[in-house]
Amino acid sequence: MLIHIGYHKTGSTWLQNEFFAKCSSLLSIFDQDQVFHNIVSPNCLDFDPERVGSLLNELSQPLVSEGTVPVLSSERLCGSPFAGGRDSFVLAKRLHSIAPQAKILIVIREQKRALISTYKQFVQGGGVGSCKQFFSPPRSDRFNWFDPLHFRYDRLVGRYHELFGEENVLVLPYEEFAKDNTAFCQRILTYSGMNRDWTSENRTSSVHRSLSAFSISLLRHFNRFSLTSSYPWPSINLSPLRRFELAVLRRTDKFLPASYFEKNLTEYVSENFNGFFTDSNINLAKMTGLNMKSYGYE
């Protein structure tokens, strides 16, 4: 079995829809809702590894007998970036309890770009906070917020090495995917033990592009009047108008004056997180053999 845990904003949706769903050598056995309800959401007192493990085995056996690798894929398995990834190790242990022989795929992304994309995803999901509010949240004993430690990748990779063994954990940079997704997918196939070529003819769509910082700045103000999972108590619920605005922004985004807002967001992230990930990246390079500098990591 191959388990792909993310991270977020690293082409996960493309991999799920265009690779795992269309490659005859690999096949997802849980959709996103099934991953969430069976593995992610259960309370620690309710999670039943025997039940989930038996279900996975039942779904996997017919595929294995046909020479197909069963796949579990969900970026939520690495933890939520909006809550600091605080359940990431809990989920790692759950995965080991239900599939201890699995191979693990972890896709990372240069942290400052990942932070920008994460903030944009927060707003597109209904968030109302400015980038300063999102990246510097109040500390609370009641709620979990963003925490940049989630993006020190060596910490979670090390835990997966301990649980599954270094030889069963593959870490790939998103930058390789962005450069050549055919070669990227081929590496995953080879790692999974499949001697099959993934050709360019299989590629059918591009990765979904985030809205510009200008569109995000407009959308987050309108979110205050919309019922969303990130803001479930609006004073006035204008959700239908938000859906219309979001559709309009997606169509017109490339024509809007984004450079000023994009520059401000990029500068804020650079100034506030400069050097924060350096030691982690050095450690990850030692753990994986990746040349982090060549991909633009600090």
- pLDDT tens string 44-81: 999 999 999 999 999 999 999 999 999 999 999 999 99
The rounded distance, in Å, linking the Cα atoms of 23 and 203 is: 11
- Which residue segments constitute the domains of the chain, with CATH numbers given? 2-295 (3.40.50.300)
Residue 202: per-residue pLDDT: 53
Angle at the Cα of 284 from the Cα atoms of 160 and 121, rounded to 5 degrees: 80
Both tokens of residue 21?
A: 């769903």
DSSP bridge pairs for 166:
none
Helices then strands, counting H and E runs in the chain, come out as 13, 5
| Helix (H), strand (E) at residue 175 | helix 174-179
For 201, which DSSP code? G
> Whole-angstrom Cα distance, residue 189 to residue 139?
43
Strand-pair category, 69-73 with 103-108: unpaired
Question: Region 227-244: what's the mean pLDDT?
Answer: 76
| Two structure tokens written together for 154 | 């060596």
Residues 238-275: pLDDT tens digits? 777 777 777 777 777 666 666 767 888 999 999 999 99
pLDDT in tens, 155-208: 999 999 999 999 999 999 999 999 999 999 999 999 999 887 776 545 555 666
Q: Judging by DSSP bridges, how do beta strands 26-28 and 69-73 pair with one another?
A: parallel
Mean pLDDT of the chain: 91
Which of 71-85, 127-141, 190-204, 280-294 comes out lowest in average pLDDT?
190-204
Q: What is the pLDDT of residue 40?
A: 98
Say which residue the tokens 């993006």 belong to. Answer: 151
At 31, is the pLDDT very low, low, confident or very high (cuts 50, 70, 90)? very high
Q: What is the mean pLDDT of residues 210-225?
A: 84
pTM above 0.85, yes or no: yes
Q: Is pLDDT above 90 for 153?
A: yes
